[in-house]
Amino acid sequence: MKYLVKVGDDDVEVLLDGDVATVDGIAAVARVSDVEGTPVRMVTIGDEVHRVVARRGATRGRFTLWLDGFRYEVEALDERARAIRELSAASAGPTGPAPLVAPMPGMIVRIAVQVGDAVTPGQGLVVMEAMKMENELRATAAGTVKAILAQPGTAVDKGAILLELE
């Protein structure tokens, strides 16, 4: 089965045929095994092993993946579902990178960017403390910092917009 996968701003073609996964023309044997009693899956591609946790998103084909400690927002649709979505204009939504939102209540420790800075996917933007742990919040897509809405030393609620990107 052929899937069209969007990771940040990148489109990737994935073809699954039994134990063989072909990603953008490069084929490798791929296997997935569950870690019993946890949401963790071990994904073996060729001779590389990756630790993956996947959570379904709000719409069909959307997932949040934690891969080897990094978080990715992903959309994976087969060819038929992608064609139907494009024909029905269901994919029309806000353009540009999503704002950085606090995933939990906590205290802003530091902000690693300034207004006007260009950011890349995976780049650390804000460090916040929650439950006595520091969490680095990273960019999910490339963009430019449009506005900083949080300040170090301030408490924020879950869902608070910390940075706006364009």
- Which CATH number goes with the domain that contains 54? 3.30.700.30
Mean pLDDT on 140-156: 92
**Tens digits of residue pLDDT in 53-84:** 989 888 888 999 898 889 999 988 888 887 77
Do 34 and 63 have their domain in common?
A: yes
Number of domains in the chain: 2
- CATH code of the domain covering residue 152: 2.40.50.100
- Does residue 134 sit within a domain? yes
Mean pLDDT taken over the chain: 88
| 80-119 pLDDT tens trace | 887 777 777 655 555 667 889 999 999 999 999 999 999 9
Alpha-carbon span 121 to 28, nearest angstrom: 25
Asked if 78 and 133 sit in the same domain, the reply is no
In this structure, the answer to whether residues 14 and 65 fall within a common structural domain is yes
Q: What residues make up the domain containing 26?
A: 2-88
- For residue 50, give the amino acid letter: H
Residue 33 CA from chain centroid, whole number: 22
At 140 the pLDDT is 86
60 closest CA partner among 30, 37, 28, 91? 91
Structural domain includes residue 137: yes
- The residue from 31, 53, 88 where one domain ends is 88
| pLDDT above 90 for 156 | yes
Query: Same structural domain for residues 75 and 112?
Result: no
The residue from 88, 120, 150 where one domain ends is: 88
Kindly state whether residues 32 and 76 are assigned to the same domain: yes
Asked if residue 124 has pLDDT above 60, the reply is yes
Q: Is residue 93 part of a domain?
A: no
Looking at residue 139, the DSSP 8-state letter turns out to be -
The number of CA neighbours under 13 Å toward the Cβ of 6 is 12
Residue 131 lies inside a defined structural domain of this protein: yes
Among 88, 119, 142, residue at a domain's last position:
88
Are 134 and 74 contained in the same domain?
A: no
- The share of the chain scoring above pLDDT 70, in percent, equals 95
